[in-house]
Amino acid sequence: DIVVTQSPNSLAVSLGERATINCWSSQSVLYSGDKKNYFAWFQQKPGQPPKLLISWASTRESGVPDRFSGSGSGTDFTLTINSLQAEDVAVYYCQQYYSAPYIFGQGTKVEI
Amino acid sequence: EVQLVEFGGGLVQPGESLRLSCAVSGITFRNTYGMHWVRQAPGKGLEWVAFKTISGDKIYYADSVRGRFTISTDNARNSVFLQMNSLRAEDTAVYYCARDRGGSLMDVWGKGTTVTVSS
């Protein structure tokens, strides 16, 4: 199994400041066949289902503000939220979808 | 717009069974690559449960549910199901279905249905 470790568990950031969340996978999720990293980031607000923010480690989904960015390759990945807004308060999860079981990170609670 | 709606959750006793359904609309189901079930225990993180391609050539389960849960699809009804047998207290969670866009990427999620296993 490819295990995903996420840090920190929680993060308090001032409005307008930057939030950074890190994830590591126990094996590379970079597939040599298509040169893609099978790694995603989700946002979950209270009482709501998860929402896909970023796929393939760095591709923002349609409608996701450009203050959200994903980076990294292989086993090390980062989600950066620039200029944090009040509506960004949520739990953020990373996930590898390279191979089953498609394990999620433990989650990072982002607060103001 | 793609929409997923789960139903079938409820309160059951340990050892009993439950069948969850997820109705998919807004897309041609058979053009979808596959469907996932993901669960979230109260106050906890996300746990992937099961995946099935629409074609049926791939079916995967988490170790925690293998042998007890069965994922299936009905293309005519644009639906995916999760048959849960021998339920345990630790299966208590909100269960979400999610569409697989391709490459195992879960891009659209339902709002979830709650399963509580308790005596």
pLDDT digits (tens, 9 = 90+) for B31-70: 789 999 999 999 999 999 999 999 889 999 999 999 999 9
CA–CA separation, A31 and A81 (whole Å): 26
Q: Flag if B96 and A93 touch (Cβ within 8 Å).
A: no
Which residues of A fall within a CB distance of 8 Å from B46? 42, 44, 50, 93, 95, 104, 107
- Check whether B10 has a pLDDT greater than 90: yes
Which of B39, B104, B114 should we substitute to test contact with A (largest number of A Cβ atoms within 10 Å)? B104
pLDDT of residue B28: 78
Residue B80 forms beta bridges with which residues? B22, B73
CA dist list (Å): B82 to A100, B12, B18, B31, B51? 18, 15, 8, 20, 10
What pLDDT digit, counting tens, does each position of B90-107 carry? 999 999 999 999 899 999
Pick from A77, A47, A76, A43: nearest CA to A61: A43
pLDDT of residue B36: 98
- Both structure tokens of B70: 């069965």
Mean residue pLDDT of chain B comes to 95
Q: Flag if B48 and A48 touch (Cβ within 8 Å).
A: no
CA–CA separation, B47 and B55 (whole Å): 24
Structure confidence at residue A79 as a pLDDT band (50, 70, 90) = very high
CA–CA separation, B67 and B33 (whole Å): 24
Structure confidence at residue A29 as a pLDDT band (50, 70, 90) = very high
Which residues of B fall within a CB distance of 8 Å from A98? 104
Q: In percent, how much of chain B has pLDDT > 90? A: 84
Rounded mean pLDDT of A90-110?
97
Q: Distance between the two ends of chain A, CA-based, in angstroms?
A: 35
Task: List A residues 20-49 in contact with B (Cβ-Cβ < 8 A).
Answer: 36, 38, 40, 42, 44, 48-49
Residue among A44, A97, A104 whose CB faces B104 most closely: A97
Task: List A residues 49-108 in contact with B (Cβ-Cβ < 8 A).
Answer: 49-52, 55, 61, 93, 95, 97-98, 100-107
pLDDT of residue B32: 84
> Is residue B22 within 8 Å of B111, Cβ to Cβ?
no
- Check whether B29 has a pLDDT greater than 80: no
Q: How many secondary structure helices (H) and strands (E) does chain B include?
A: 0, 11
